[in-house]
Amino acid sequence: MLVVSNNPLVQSHLIREPQHTMAYAPVSFRDLLILVRDKVHQGHVLLTHPLSGSVKPNETLYKSIGMTQQPQAGLCMDSLLLIEEAILAHDRFPPRTREVTPQMDADFQLVDWTLLQSALSSDFARTRGASAGA
């Protein structure tokens, strides 16, 4: 699985897991969604939902999204629709204005890492990734 993330905790953990490819970008949540959309346009298929978990896009700074490692032939319209809807959902929320303490930042990173760990260990992601040529 290719993991696109802006979470430094995810980056530090996945460096040690050679079965996954890490694409780390220290960007905003919205900019990460745009990077993922660009990869979908290149033929990658989403393996995890771009808004997984119950954390609203304006409540956290970090997101990690699983995709096929290799682009597929053609554009996956389901993936494109999902990522476009995620960008629109993000834009509907007002921007975060309160200060993020170091403890909050660490908690946001941990929540994202925990959600990703669940996806990495799921049979769906392994099966979907294998069937999509990942």
Domain count for the chain: 1
Q: What is the pLDDT of residue 115?
A: 93
Q: What is the pLDDT of residue 131?
A: 45
CA–CA separation, 28 vs 12, rounded Å? Answer: 18
Q: Which of 130, 23, 132 is nearest to 72 (CA)?
A: 132
On the question of pLDDT at 12 being above 60, the answer is: yes
pLDDT per residue over 37-89, tens digit each? 999 999 999 999 999 887 787 888 999 999 999 999 999 999 999 999 999 99
State mean pLDDT over 15-40.
93
Q: At 133, is the pLDDT very low, low, confident or very high (cuts 50, 70, 90)? A: very low
**Neighbour order of strands in the sheet with 2-5:** 21-24, 2-5, 64-67
Report the predicted TM-score, pTM, of the whole model to 2 decimal places: 0.88
On the question of pLDDT at 116 being above 80, the answer is: yes
Domain of 8 in residue numbering reads as 2-131
